[in-house]
Chains A and B, each alone.
Chain A
Amino acid sequence: MVPLSWFLFLAAALFSIGLFGVLSRRNAVAILLGIELMLNSVNINLAAFWRYGNVLHMEGQVFAVIVFAVAAAEVAVGLALVISVYRKRNTVIADDIDMMKW
């Protein structure tokens, strides 16, 4: 069986890619994509720890399912916000959306 550490490395890599995307992409939609990557890397961790722990305890899988649901909801709200911003300001570039600054 594949050792646990592989899964963890995969998850860490995926998380870093997502984080990089979130921090470096200028497009708000792309930032949302990065967030999805980070969330899903966590899901890999959850599934892996469940499989290598006590299989009869279903918390890991259940938790992963809840994260999917939250992620889907989050994307729905996020995209709606992006569209709303686009309609108001005609841009989806994160750096341009700076109304909250001092």
Chain B
Amino acid sequence: MTTETLIWLIPLPPVLAFFLIVLLTNKNKALSHTIGVGAAFLSWLGSMIVFVRALGVEHLGEHPFESWIPWLPTGDTWLEIGVLVDPTGAAVLFFVAWTIFMIFLYSVGYQNFGQPRGDHDHMGLPPHGATVEEQGHRHVVPSVEPMYSRFFAFLGLFAFGMYVLVLSDNLLTFFVGWEIMGLCSYLLIGFWYAKESARNAAIKAFMTTRVGDVFMLLGIAYLYSATGTLSFREIFTETILHTLATVPSGVLGLSAAGLIGLLLFIGTIGKSAQFPLHVWLPDAMEGPTPVSAMIHAATMVSAGVYAVVRMFPLISLDAQTMTIVAFIGAFTAIFSATIAVAQNDIKRVLAYSTISQLGFMIAALGIGAYVAAVFHLITHAFFKALLFLGSGSVIHGMEHGVLHTGNHKVDPQDMFNMGGLRRKMPITFWTFLIGGFALSGFPIITAGFWSKDEILADAFGHGHTAVFITLAVAAFLTAFYTMRQITLTFLGEPRTKEAEHAQETPWTMTLPLVILAFFAVTYGWVGIPEHFPLIGGLIPNWFHEFVGGTLAEHPEALEFRWEPLATSLFVALGGLFFGWQVYRNVNSAAEDRLQIPLLKNKYYFDEIYDRVFVKPAIWLAETFVSGWMDKGLIDGILHVFGPVTDRLGSFIRNYFDLPVINRFFGDGSADVTYWFGGKLRAVQTGRIQQYLMFALVVFIAVGAALYFFLLA
């Protein structure tokens, strides 16, 4: 099979699994997860083959794997859809395939496959546990998720969306994949739909990303009208890029390229939860944990960054747009890092951390550090998926403890209820530690260090001092809250009985953790800068060479500078040290001095949006549209029209319909016909000879008349 054919086939297994599960195997949990995981495996396998083949191609950037077919006729031309794997695409495909496959596997354990049915479980609520009797005494164990099959169906559709997006060679199917994921995130966040918070979170996520998507669609439409094509292959040619860069758009003094880039970037802001559309992501934690990992690490939010990465040649044309991108990214990075410091929910900390790390990537793109951004995108996907899955494992272990003690008031996600879990859940602990250190940028060994260091080095090296300082502070905060999280969760002594009875999770959950932990460490080594002291050059900087080849102008390797390296060493180690120092003796939320209301309440963004957007929208709908427009104006007009029409109708009926139509035409013609019939029926005697007589008379008369008039 040629590589191109294989690429076409990669997205198919998950979507087939989706339909199979939804339509046929829904009732059978084991079969459904076999299909789901099997499909994820097939896609993974295909992706790996493509990746390996991509490695073997010289100058893949100039001759990427691509294939396309004409799809939709538009006047003289065709809209073409197709697949494209260039170096960046291959690198992204690699991590997407791995994380998606791991998440599928993890879901089997997370949704308690093999456990008994719950005592009181019903659809739309998380499982509550089942009572079992063993050797004479009863105890409560976790129960299987009631909508187990459905979960795998949704995951399958989600995976399909991501593969479509990653492999697209045009903005059209890119956007289709983008929206499929939007739909799936809605379905998955609201998976436990009987919980009101989950429903609200689902709607919030959908609506917020929709704001971005509308702008993105505008951008796509503008791009299409300006160039007549949506294919990356055709857009990223010198002539078209040059035209776009020189034609003014007429808005804010931007060039066409600038405006298109900005509109597309607003889509990214929504999808990647950048300021000011970041509010949906923390709430999305209402979904089951594999969903959080799927949405936050592997797929959806990465898709936002990937959009900017894909459109980089276009976006980078306009300096103004790039400044906005850099500003939004840097601001988001530090802004959400400060919020993460004051959160107590283990998943929420990670959610804000994700927003912050995405800010890093966006900022990197904004300053033109393309390779560094892609590098961080990939390492982040690995370690953040690891952290989310690890936190899910922790929550799972805690839920076990909660079921054991039966005290359901204890929140299994609150870090202040944990502590000392390192002894209870060793695999989870060590992998989480690796993930956390990677996130903090622990020097040399972790992947996060290399990618973050590269961003900082790029910012410093290209003179973006403001971005550099902002990101450095954000990186410090990152290390700080990560260590806070690790300390509160795993170190010290158990703070609750539930934490004492926590339990390690099954192998389906720990195996993905171990595999992801492996990548969270080793993936960084493929991108060690050549000029790094001591170890630089030992392993060639393969990543820079490979991914850099995507761009027309191959970016040059930066010269080594000691300032950014010292900064990144200091912020990582300092942050980790402070985090440990401050929180090792903190035993309750009340003792935590960083629980500032402003940070705890996320700068009141939810409240502000509620006041500014939600409340006015409700007022507009209820008071203005429903009350005034609908009830007052529209109904008022209708109340005038109604009686008038009624009068007119009865007038026509009484003075026209009844006398003229009915009496004259209706009854009149009937009367006439009736009268004639009455008279004529006398002729119908039934005597055959009489009829013949009539016939003869008429014949003679007609004959005579004809003779007289025609012949004479």
Contact = CB atoms under 8 A, between A and B. Distances in A.
A102 interface: yes
B696 A102 contact: no
A4 B529 CA distance: 131
A95 B689 contact: yes
B69 interface: no
A44 interface: no
Nearest to B677: A102
B689 A102 contact: no
Contacts of A87: none
A1 interface: no
A94 interface: yes
- What range describes how many residues of A lie at the interface? 10 to 19
Classify the secondary structure of B's interface with A.
helix
B138 interface: no
Contacts of A98: 685-687
Contacts of A19: 696
B692 interface: yes
Nearest to B691: A100
A23 B692 contact: yes
A23 B686 contact: no
Contacts of A22: 689, 692
A101 interface: yes
Contacts of A101: 684-687
B409 interface: no
Contacts of A31: 688-689
Given A23-B693, A97-B688, 11 more contacts: A22-B689, A31-B688, A31-B689, A94-B687, A95-B687, A97-B686, A100-B686, A101-B687, A102-B681, A102-B684, A102-B686
A95 B689 CA distance: 8
Nearest to B695: A23
A102 B693 CA distance: 18
A2 interface: no
A85 B684 CA distance: 20
Interface of A: 19, 22-24, 31, 94-95, 97-102
Nearest to A99: B686
A97 B685 CA distance: 10
Nearest to A22: B692
Contacts of A95: 687, 689
A94 B687 CA distance: 7
Q: Which of B689, B692, B696 has the most CB of A within 10 A?
A: B689
Contacts of B687: 94-95, 98, 101
Interface string B678-712: 00010011111100110010000000000000000
A19 B699 CA distance: 13
Contacts of B696: 19, 23
Contacts of A99: 686
Contacts of B685: 98, 101
A23 B687 CA distance: 11
17 contacts: A22-B689, A23-B689, A23-B692, A23-B693, A23-B696, A24-B689, A31-B688, A94-B687, A94-B689, A95-B689, A97-B686, A97-B688, A98-B687, A100-B686, A101-B687, A102-B684, A102-B686
A101 B693 CA distance: 16
Q: Considering the complex of A and B, which 6 residue pairs feature the smallest CB-CB distances, nearest first?
A: A101-B686, A98-B686, A100-B686, A102-B684, A102-B681, A101-B685
A31 B693 CA distance: 13
A95 B687 CA distance: 6
Nearest to B681: A102
A12 to B, nearest CB: 14
Most buried by B among A24, A97, A100: A100
Contacts of B686: 97-102
Contacts of B692: 22-23
B145 to A, nearest CB: 85
A2 to B, nearest CB: 27
A83 to B, nearest CB: 17
Contacts of A23: 689, 692-693, 696
A80 B684 CA distance: 25
Contacts of B689: 22-24, 31, 94-95
A19 B687 CA distance: 16
B91 to A, nearest CB: 99
Nearest to B682: A102
Contacts of A102: 681, 684, 686
A57 to B, nearest CB: 27
A22 B689 CA distance: 7
Interface string B487-510: 000000000000000000000000
Most chain A beta-carbon contacts within 10 A, residue among B685, B688, B696: B688
Nearest to A25: B689
Contacts of A24: 689
Nearest to A26: B689
A96 to B, nearest CB: 9
